């Protein structure tokens, strides 16, 4: 029996990969645990965009995430990512194009007619995808339950796989919190079909369509362990950035705001760590949906005793 602690994106991916190999697994979620922070994620699978600041290992390995999600949940949209910038920040776009790969220069309105003439050029990352993270997590959980996996709050009865994010900080002293804030809005006047990222020297933001007319707008990055509600500054910055992308956001209804703490290691790379008594899958930082499946497969292979010549270990070039 394998006991997975935590039912966020790391825990559910780990339990799924373990169950896929025919091993017995249970998921431990104590009564009254806070909801996982991954419910606040954008749900983007954007390894190439992330390459602007993420190291090559994230870009290279993250490319496999889309196939994993498409084979485990419904609703994975393979429509790419569109990166735009206000005319005066055009140099930011040039810099981004130098820092990343697998993109083409486009006229934004040709891909997203709703952007009209607001942006004369943009970068299109065709191979990227997105999904609704809340629904994806619910899909994984349903599938696990239907395959006999028990979710409960009692003591774990097997080998421990700890996926509790910041709650595992006591075992991982170099794990730190990186605060993120986001909003969900209902904007029936805005019709965007793929994630739009706005480059801005001070207030970058992304807008992810989670359903027709429903958008997630995120996300701040603050080196802070403050788990309090979204700040006024974050609301103003994110919404003014969204308004720059499409003025229809001014008429949107704010459905939800959220603030959460991303667990991160000093190099901001998600990792598996084997410690005495538990294997940890943690440090997802802003790469939970991108990297949790990759690490979960690696972990499951280790547990099933088939590690060594695994696909995830094979070196893949980033570009």
Partner 1 sequence: MFYGTDLSSRLMLGTAQYPSPAVLREAITASGAEVITVSLRREGKDGGAFRDILKDSGCRILPNTAGCHTAGEAVTTARMARELFGTSWIKLEVIGHADTLQPDPFALVEAARILCADGFDVFPYTTEDLIVGERLLEAGCKVLMPWGAPIGSGQGLRNIEGLRAMRAHFSGIPLVIDAGIGSPSQAAQAMEMGFDAVLLNTAVAKALDPVQMARAFGQAVAAGQMAYTAGLMPRRDMAHASTPVFGMAELLP
Residues that bind partner 1 (CB under 8 A): 53-55, 95, 98-99, 176-177, 179, 201, 222-226, 233, 264, 266-269
Q: Residue 22 class from Cβ within 10 Å (0-12 exposed, 13-18 middle, 19+ buried)?
A: exposed
Kindly state the tokens that stand for 179.
Answer: 């605060």
Instruction: Select 56 or 67, whichever has its Cβ closest to partner 1.
Output: 56
CB 225 to partner 1: min, Å: 4
CB 251 to partner 1: min, Å: 26
For residue 183, the tally of other CB atoms under 10 A from its CB is 22
CB 116 to partner 1: min, Å: 25
Instruction: Select 268 or 301, whichever has its Cβ closest to partner 1.
Output: 268
**At residue 215, what are phi and psi to the nearest 5 degrees?**
-130, 140
Instruction: Select 269 or 304, whichever has its Cβ closest to partner 1.
Output: 269
CB 311 to partner 1: min, Å: 26
Closest CA relative to residue 119, chosen from 90, 99, 80: 90
Write down the residue that tokens 């080998």 correspond to. 159
CB 131 to partner 1: min, Å: 25
Instruction: Select 152 or 233, whichever has its Cβ closest to partner 1.
Output: 233
Q: How far is residue 210 from each of residues 133, 195, 201, 318, measured CA to CA in Å?
A: 8, 9, 26, 28
Closest CA relative to residue 248, chosen from 183, 184, 188: 188
Instruction: Select 141 or 179, whichever has its Cβ closest to partner 1.
Output: 179
């Amino acid at each position: 029996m394998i006991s997975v602690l935590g039912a966020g994106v790391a825990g559910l991916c780990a339990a799924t990969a373990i169950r896929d190999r025919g091993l017995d697994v249970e998921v431990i979620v104590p009564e009254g645990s806070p909801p996982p922070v991954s419910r606040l994620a954008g749900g983007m699978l954007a390894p190439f965009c992330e390459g602007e600041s993420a190291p090559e290992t994230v870009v290279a390995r993250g490319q496999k995430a889309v196939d994993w999600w498409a084979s485990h949940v419904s609703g994975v949209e393979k429509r790419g990512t569109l990166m735009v910038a206000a005319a005066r920040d055009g140099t930011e776009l040039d810099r981004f194009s130098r820092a990343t790969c697998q993109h083409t220069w486009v006229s934004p309105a040709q891909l997203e007619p709703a952007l009209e003439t607001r942006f004369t050029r943009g970068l299109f990352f065709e191979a990227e995808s997105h999904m609704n993270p809340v629904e994806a997590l619910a899909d994984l959980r349903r599938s696990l339950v239907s395959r006999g996996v028990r979710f409960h709050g009692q003591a774990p009865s097997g080998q421990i796989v700890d996926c509790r994010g910041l709650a595992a900080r006591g075992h991982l002293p170099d794990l730190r919190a990186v605060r993120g804030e986001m909003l969900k809005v209902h904007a029936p006047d805005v019709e965007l079909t793929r994630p739009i990222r706005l480059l801005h020297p001070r207030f970058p933001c992304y807008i992810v369509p989670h359903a027709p007319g429903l958008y997630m707008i995120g996300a701040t990055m603050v080196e802070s362990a403050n788990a309090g509600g979204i700040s006024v500054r974050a609301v103003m910055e994110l919404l003014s950035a969204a308004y720059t992308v499409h003025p229809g956001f001014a008429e949107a209804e704010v459905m939800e705001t959220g603030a959460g703490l991303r667990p991160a290691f000093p190099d901001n790379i998600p990792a598996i760590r084997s410690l005495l008594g538990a294997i940890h899958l943690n440090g997802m930082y802003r790469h939970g949906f991108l990297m949790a499946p990759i690490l979960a497969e690696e972990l499951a292979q280790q547990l099933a005793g088939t590690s060594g010549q695994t696909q995830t270990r094979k070196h893949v070039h980033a570009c």
